[in-house]
Structure 1
Amino acid sequence: MEHLKHFRDTDFKVSDIQLFKNINKDDLIIVKNKLDSCPVVQAKSGDIILDSQSSGACLYVVLSGILAQASNTSRRQLENASTQYFAGECVGEISVLDEEASTATIAAMTDAELLLIDAPIMWHLIDESNGVARNLLQLLSFRIRAANAQLRNRQKVGEFYRQLSMVDGLTGLHNRSWLNTQLPGLIDNAHATQTELGIIMLDLDHFKKFNDNYGHVMGDEALQAAAKIISSGLRPSDFAARYGGEEMIIILPNTSRESALVVAERLCDRIRHVEIFKNDIKALPHITASLGLATLCSGQDGLAIIAAADAALYRAKERGRDQVAL
């Protein structure tokens, strides 16, 4: 940054600087006398004003141009920055107070003129003027609230993407990551409350042959149709996830073996009668599913009950498919 002049040589009024607004006349004289000898520098667009490598505590007041807080100094990052600083605003006040390097990167979004107020002068103004101290407290309060709001927004966005990452993009069911995360807790809760829990493993029959005959696009539609039947056939307290390929898993908390069997039989029947697409030329394709049911036993973990449901699914396939096995 290039040293241009001193503050006394500019047309900028002390009262136009937010940090020094609404202070009494005597304090305003003190501030002006201290600022007159402070340097004014020219920052070019893209110049870094403050970052973790900055040395020396200094308050920068924007006299002209715009500064922005961004992760890098690219034009796009600066223009899209959520925090920008305009004429009369300042940056670096926290570094002046705690003498630590800035945790944010502040750069010039446009060519800018900046007034530099070093730490000793800033501390003198704080000691000599209650108005300056009050304005600084208000500024810090605003910055803290803004930072907290940004943090909350980031948490909401992070939670949105976390939830999105737990959903299978094709079927809309939960995915394997969700299952690995949530099933242990559901099982621990069932053990702790001594309630029953059922697991159904569901596999679409001869799905490779279906794909070969009708194509993968129609295969995807078959998976989506099956997933829709599963979702619509469960209670709000039940869960369904795509386990992998054409295999899906259904979790039934607080459900007895007999009730879980009713659910499995109902899903098997509904999938058997679903229409994938209608075509007057081709024969109407259909799908069926094999289902294996297991209920949680004392001491079982997630791997054990899934293995039990998978073994039951294998028995359903051995017996001719399109059925439920225990």
Structure 2
Amino acid sequence: MEHLKQFKDTDFDISNIQLFRNIQPDQLHFIAQAIGHCPILRAHSGEIVLDSNSGSSNLFILLRGTLALTSNTARRQLESSTVQYFAGECVGEISVLDEEGHLSTIAAVTDSELLVIDSETMWKLIDESNGVARNLLQLLSFRIRAANAQLRNRQKVGEFYRQLSMVDGLTGLNNRSWLNTQLPGLIDNARASETDLSIIMVDLDHFKQFNDRFGHVLGDEALQAAAKVISAGLRPTDFAARYGGEEMIIILPNTNKESALVVAERLCDRIRNTKVFQNDAISLPHITASLGLAGLAEGQDGLGVIASADAALYRAKERGRNQVAM
């Protein structure tokens, strides 16, 4: 950074500096004398002002220009940074207090002028001026609250994208990743509460032929139609996921095989009677599905109960499809 002059050679009004606001005139006079020897530096646009890899412990007060939190000096990133500093604000106070390196990297967004106060002078101000100490505490409190708010926002955004990554984009059902993550816990809950858990595997019949005849766009509509039927036919405590291709899986907590059979038969019937698209000129505007049902057996894990439901599904196919097998 370019050295311009010392603070005593300027006519800058220190009451405009956040750290020195609302301070008695006699204390302001003392502060002006104490920081008189401190240099004023110019940081050009994009130049690093405060480096997280640096061990220096200076406080920087921005007199003119704009600074921003950054990981590099890319101009576009600086201008879009959500953490920016404007004239009158300061950075680097933490490194002065704990005499450790800076926590962040901060760069100039525009050409800026900065007053640099060394740690020895800063501690002298804190010791001699209650106003400076009070303002510093308020500043640190604000920074902590802002950091906590930013952390909460990041957690919310992270959770949003985590949830989004667990949803199948085509059908809106949960996806395979969700199943792999959640099924073990659902099984553990069933065992802990000594309740039943049933699995239904659903496979749309002759789906390749459907795609070949009507095209993949209508094939996607068929999958979406079946998914809507399944979602609408379940309780809020039940779960459905796209297992892969035209296969879907339904998890029914606290449900024995007899009750699950009723659910499976109802879904099979509703899928059979669902029109994928409206076109009287085309025959077979319907889809059907084969369903395999299994209950969680003693000692089974997720893979085991899915394998049992899958075996039942193949029995339904061998018997002619468009039906339920246990």
**Which bin holds the TM-score, normalised by the shorter protein?**
over 0.9
CA contact (8 A) 2:241 2:249 kept: yes
Alpha-carbon distance in structure 2 between the residues aligned to 1:159 and 1:218: 33
Give how far 1:75 is off. 2.0
CA contact (8 A) 2:294 2:312 kept: yes
Alpha-carbon distance in structure 1 between the residues aligned to 2:202 and 2:10: 77
SS, match of residue 113 in structure 2: strand
- Tell me the equivalent position of 2:156: 156
Alpha-carbon distance in structure 2 between the residues aligned to 1:278 and 1:127: 82
Deviations 1:100-151 (A, max 9, x none): 2222221101000000001111011111111111111110000000000000
User: Which 4+ residue blocks in structure 1 deviate beyond 6 angstroms?
Assistant: none
User: TM-score normalised to the size of structure 2?
Assistant: 0.98
Superposed, which structure 2 residues align to 1:140-289 within 5 Å?
140-289=140-289
Alpha-carbon distance in structure 1 between the residues aligned to 2:249 and 2:177: 13
Superposed, which structure 2 residues align to 1:1-326 within 5 Å?
1-326=1-326
Give how far 1:249 is off. 0.3
CA contact (8 A) 1:201 1:310 kept: yes
CA contact (8 A) 1:64 1:114 kept: yes
Match of 1:91, as an amino acid? Answer: V
SS, match of residue 95 in structure 2: helix
Alpha-carbon distance in structure 2 between the residues aligned to 1:280 and 1:249: 31
Give how far 1:199 is off. 0.3
Task: Give the root-mean-square deviation of aligned CA atoms.
Answer: 1.0
Give how far 1:284 is off. 4.1
User: TM-score normalised to the size of structure 1?
Assistant: 0.98
Give how far 1:285 is off. 2.5
Alpha-carbon distance in structure 1 between the residues aligned to 2:221 and 2:186: 31
Deviations 1:294-313 (A, max 9, x none): 01112211111111101100
Match of 1:270, as an amino acid? Answer: R
Alpha-carbon distance in structure 2 between the residues aligned to 1:11 and 1:69: 29
Alpha-carbon distance in structure 1 between the residues aligned to 2:258 and 2:279: 39
CA contact (8 A) 2:65 2:112 kept: yes
Deviations 1:145-202 (A, max 9, x none): 0000000000000000000000000000000000011000000000010001110000
CA contact (8 A) 2:55 2:102 kept: no
Give how far 1:25 is off. 2.5
Give how far 1:71 is off. 2.8
Aligned residues: 326
CA contact (8 A) 1:277 1:284 kept: no
Deviates more, 1:43-52 or 1:276-285: 276-285
CA contact (8 A) 2:57 2:102 kept: no
Identity %, equivalent residues: 74
CA contact (8 A) 1:278 1:284 kept: no
Match of 1:100, as an amino acid? Answer: E
Alpha-carbon distance in structure 1 between the residues aligned to 2:103 and 2:59: 15
SS, match of residue 168 in structure 2: coil
Give how far 1:81 is off. 1.1
CA contact (8 A) 1:196 1:256 kept: yes
CA contact (8 A) 2:56 2:102 kept: no
SS, match of residue 242 in structure 1: strand
